[in-house]
Every structure is written in C-alpha cells, then in structure tokens.
Amino acid sequence: MTNKLINLVKPFILATLLVFAASAMAQDGTIYPLEAPLEPKAIPLGTGGVDDQPASETWFRQWGDPMARNISTATLTPFLPDPGKANGAAVIVAPGGGFRWLSMGNEGWEVAQALADKGIAAFVLKYRLHPTPESLDAFKESMNRPRPAPSASSNASPSATPPSPPQRDLSDQLEDAEAAYALILKRAKEWGVDTNRLGMIGFSAGAGLTMHATLNSKTMKLAFIGPIYGGMGPVEVPKNAPPMFNVIATDDFLFRGQFGVIDSWYKAGIPVEFHLYQNGGHGFGLGNPDRTSNRWFDAFIYWLEVNDFLMAKAGK
C-alpha cells in the first residue's frame, strides 16, 4: 500500500475505531451522565409532585439507553401512526426501572414507535418515581449495594416458592396511569383512538404498574394488558379483568419458576397468552441479538390481531 493511500485511509480507520470505542463504552453497563433530552411532545399530566423529593429530574445512560430518575412531574408522550395506517387501537406504554428510574428508550420510545409503525397509537407514560440520591456517584453506589442474603435459619427448600417482594406504595404511579388514561379518553377523537380498544403494556416495574392498575383502578377499563417480564406471583383477578399477554424468559431473575399470575388468569376464565422464552434475561425491550425472546413483539401484534383489537367492531 502506498504512503498516499495509507494517508487517505488513516482518517477513515481512526473514525471507525472511535465510533467502535464509543459504542463499546456505551454498551458496557457503566452509567454515564446525560443531558436531559428535549421532549417537545410530552404532555404534563398535572398529578402533582413527589413527597420528600430533594432532587430534580436528571438523566443518565446505561447499556446505550437513556434513562430518567427523580421524576416528580408525570408526562404522557403520544406516538401517533400515519393517518393512512391508523387502525384505532391504542396502547399506554409504561417503561421499567424498579420505580427508581425509567428506561425511556429501550422500554418506552422504541416500543411506542414500533407500535405506531403497526398503525397503533402509543403513549409513553413517564410516571413519578421514588427518590434517589442527587449525585450520580451516590446513585451508582445505591444501585451496586448487594441484596440481603436469605436467612440462614430459613427452612425453605431450594424448590420452594420464593417469598413475594415487599409491597411498594404505588399510589402516585397509579394516579399517573389513571390521569394518562383519562387524557386519552378526552382526546380520543383528536388522536384517532377507539376507546374500546385501549390497552396497556409495561416492562419490569412498568409491568408491575400495569398489573397494579388492572387490579386496583376504579377508573381504568383497559381492553387488554401486556405485562412484559414482570412479577409472576399469583393475584386475585377482578371479574372484569381484561385479556392478558404475558412474556418472560427462564433466565430472568423475576421468573423463579413461578406461573402464579398465569394460573390466576386461567382459573378466573379470562383469556391469557403466555410466552416463556428459553433466554433473554431481563430488560430486553424489543429484543437483544441471538435470544429466543426476540420475537415476542411479533407474537404480541398477532395476538392483538387474532383477538380483533386491530379492527373496529361493527357499529363502532
């Protein structure tokens, strides 16, 4: 290779290496500070603030995903399909993050855009969160603290059903979900939403919020729900519970060999579809490469289609 050609190629090689390094750094799980992105379409829900919230909303990036924490102002961001594609169905999308942060890209905006591409109006719910330390370093430290080990005096066998996690106060989050639902009903005509085909899906903690709203809300009448890698413990199913599409992977720490929520829905006589994938871990959003769980979104869209949620019923 001549020196002239080498000099021409060098900038390209350097640029490629820099892009690769930046990409690798963003994907290694390290937490990096992130300037709050512009959210011009976000609509404040007016549900109030958060008690004992000393810090303002801040953002960070982990695994390449933009995440928000210390959210004290809930918002709803519409992702509307092209008018020629719109089918009238609508979905509230609740990202996860243990109620301490929200995975806004991976479990929010990307999912909503994928739904809009299928003709479904999607609405990303940025709900209020429990407070975390103001400084990023202190927040990182709080995330890295080990979980308490099981008691040595426990008589439970390894195959016994694990205890349920402690119950959180989700009154703020439920209020946010109800406000989002009410806003969509109010602006349904403007947004092209058939209110009889309005459902909710959530990821991890967002799946928990989806389930909490289904079990406890007095105002939300969801047409369908989709808890994606959420808790699997048994629940008391309301008589008017909606059909459920449920997804989790066997290597997800929330699975733990439990089928309780599926069994609860089945015994209540409510339609339920359950996908237990061989692998995928936790937090895979729309999917990660080379995992069996990567086709869940296609299965969800097909489930909606077969159950007539993508087509207006006669007379509507």
The pLDDT profile of the chain, 316 residues, written as one tens digit per residue, is 454 444 443 433 333 333 333 333 345 689 999 999 999 999 999 999 998 777 789 999 998 899 999 999 999 999 999 999 999 999 999 999 999 999 999 999 999 999 999 999 999 999 999 999 988 888 888 777 554 433 222 222 223 333 344 467 999 999 999 999 999 999 999 999 999 999 999 999 999 999 999 999 999 999 999 999 999 999 999 999 999 999 999 999 999 999 999 999 999 999 999 999 999 999 999 998 899 999 999 999 999 999 999 987 655 4
**Distance in angstroms (rounded) separating the CA atoms of residues 205 and 203:** 6
Radius of gyration of the chain (CA): 21
Amino acid, single-letter form, for residue 101: W
pLDDT at position 152: 28
In contact, 229 and 219? CB cutoff 8 Å: no
Amino acid, single-letter form, for residue 92: I
251 lies in which domain range? 31-132+167-306
Domain count, the chain: 1
b/e burial code for range 52-81 (CB count within 10 A of at least 16 → b): ebebeebbbbbbbbbbbbbbbbbbbbbbbb
pLDDT at position 6: 40
Q: Is 159 a domain residue?
A: no
Q: Specify the pTM.
A: 0.85
Q: Is 7 a domain residue?
A: no
Q: Is 21 a domain residue?
A: no
Cross-strand partners of 34: 59
Q: What is the 3-state secondary structure (H, E, C) of the chain?
A: CCHHHHHHHHHHHHHHHHHHHHHHHHCCCCCEEECCCCCCCCEECCCCCCCCCCCCCEEEEECCEEEEECCCCCEEEEECCCCCCCCCCEEEEECCCCCCEEECHHHHHHHHHHHHHCCCEEEEEECCCCCCCCCHHHHHHHHHCCCCCCCCCCCCCCCCCCCCCCCCCCHHHHHHHHHHHHHHHHCHHHHCCCHHHEEEEEECHHHHHHHHHHHHCCCCCCCCEEEECCCCCCCCCCCCCCCEEEEEECCCCCCCCCCHHHHHHHHCCCCEEEEEECCCCCCCCCCCCCCHHHHHHHHHHHHHHHCCCCCCCCCC
Q: Is 269 a domain residue?
A: yes
Q: Is 46 a domain residue?
A: yes
pLDDT at position 288: 87
Q: Is 207 a domain residue?
A: yes
pLDDT at position 87: 97
What CATH number is attached to the domain comprising 291? 3.40.50.1820
Q: Is 111 a domain residue?
A: yes
Q: Is 153 a domain residue?
A: no
